[in-house]
Amino acid sequence: MLEIGKFDSDTDALKQRINTHDKFGTYDLNEWIFEHMMPKVGQQVLDLGCGTGKQSIPLAQIVGESGHVLSVDIWQKSLDGLMQTAQQVGVNQRINTVCSDLDELDANVYGQEFDRVLSSYSIYYIKKPRHVFETIYKLVKTGGVFFFCGPSRFNNLEIKQFHYGLRGEQVPSPDWSDTFIENIGLPTTQSLFKEVAEFRFENPLRFDSAEALYRYWSSYNLYDARLDSAFKVAAADYFKRNAIFTTIKRVIGVRAMK
Ligand SMILES: C[S@@+](CC[C@H](N)C(=O)[O-])C[C@H]1O[C@@H](n2cnc3c(N)ncnc32)[C@H](O)[C@@H]1O
């Protein structure tokens, strides 16, 4: 199973990755998420593994004054950052946070139901999938939606090939996080929810300099300090011959209706 690593828990690395996706990505992941999750004014939303609020903040704007967002994350520092942004944007009255491991969600979020539950790039950190999905099922109102998304098994194949190529190796078989949505999330929701649909999204990240490529790699969980100088040299060499390095974020989303 996937252990939470520095690059997942480090608030600064997360911010850096989000900035990279915003700057170098071709499409907007949030637009795609909201299209399938369909949040509306006045709704109660639960954002699981919310991080620094990439979805919680716009969701609070979408649900408006009559709606509410409950944002859950295992890292208090990320939740503090989220509330700071919420205050700056003027939506802090519509958001509450809960610091909890998703595996213990049932002990920390109960006695309420939500119109929408989201888990963007976080559900694969759980260690007790059946238990957590059953908890989520109970938290969704009848007629409500649970949407979760994360990487597909071919996610970022291009930068992985570049990285493993430095060691003269092939890209290894996909790990727990790269297969969780397809192998575990999808069948588990199918066994619980009334209507389940799968969606795919591809977002090419186009880097225009060796420095930009290095910054992305060093904020990503592929990073290996032992390859640091080799990566810089190979990236510089690549950009002598090419103007752009493209790696593709390949995302799978599952929408489960109760
Ligand atoms: C990659 S970030 C995703 C943040 C945001 N949802 C997004 O899409 O940008 C993953 C988040 O999941 C949180 N996380 C990881 N393991 C967790 C767990 N077991 N319980 C709750 N949150 C967890 C991390 O702290 C981090 O904020």
Q: pLDDT digits over 92-132, tens only? A: 999 999 999 999 999 999 999 999 999 999 999 999 999 99
- Indicate the domain borders of the chain: 6-156+173-204+249-257
Q: Which amino acid is at 163?
A: H
Residue 48 CA to ligand 1 center (angstroms) comes to: 7
For ligand 1, pick from 74, 77, 83 the residue to mutate: most ligand atoms within 8 Å of CB.
74
CATH of 6-156+173-204+249-257, one of 3.40.50.2300, 3.50.50.60, 3.40.50.800, 3.40.50.150: 3.40.50.150
pLDDT in tens, 6-21: 555 566 666 666 677 7
**Selection from 159, 128, 169, 175 nearest residue 247 by Cα:** 159
> Ligand 1 centre from 158 Cα, in Å?
24
- In this structure, which residue's CA is closest to atom 4 in ligand 1? 51
Comparing 209 with 177, the larger pLDDT belongs to: 209
> Would you tell me how many other CB atoms lie within 10 Å of the CB of residue 236?
14
Pairing of strands 245-257, 140-151: antiparallel
| C-alpha dist (Å) from residue 172 to 154, 219, 247, 256 | 11, 20, 17, 31
pLDDT of residue 4 exceeding 90, the answer is no
Q: What is the pLDDT of residue 9?
A: 55
Give dist(CA 144, CA 153) in Å, integer.
28
How far does the centroid of ligand 1 lie from the alpha carbon of residue 104, in Å? Answer: 14
pLDDT at 27: 81
For residue 1, what pLDDT is reported? 42
What separation in angstroms does the CA of 156 have from each of 28, 136, 144, 219?
Answer: 16, 29, 32, 14
Q: Among 5-9, 78-82, 165-169, where is mean pLDDT lowest?
A: 5-9
* Interval 17-75: pLDDT, tens: 667 777 777 789 999 999 999 999 999 999 999 999 999 999 999 999 999 999 999 99
**CA of 125, closest atom in ligand 1:** 16
pLDDT given for residue 8 in this prediction: 58
**Sheet order of strands, 68-73 included:** 95-99, 68-73, 44-48, 114-120, 140-151, 245-257, 195-207
Render pLDDT for 130-154 as a digit per residue (tens, 0 to 9).
999 999 999 999 999 999 999 998 9
Tens digit of each residue's pLDDT (9 = 90 or more) over 211-227:
999 999 998 888 999 99
**pTM of the model as a whole:** 0.88
Tokens 């939500």 belong to residue: 114
pLDDT of residue 2: 45
Residue of 6, 20, 69, 73 best suited for mutating to test ligand 1, as the one with most atoms within 8 Å of CB: 73
Q: What is the pLDDT of residue 190?
A: 97
d(CA 76, CA 50): 11
User: At residue 180, what are phi and psi to the nearest 5 degrees?
Assistant: -55, -50
Residues contacting ligand 1 via CB (< 6 Å): 4, 8-9, 14, 18, 49-51, 54-55, 73-75, 78, 101-103, 120-122, 125
Which protein residue has the closest C-alpha to ligand 1 atom 10?
Answer: 122
Kindly report, residue by residue over 183-217, the tens digit of the pLDDT. 999 999 999 999 999 999 999 999 999 999 999 99
Of all atoms in ligand 1, which is nearest to the CA of residue 11? 27
CB 176 within 8 A of CB 1: yes
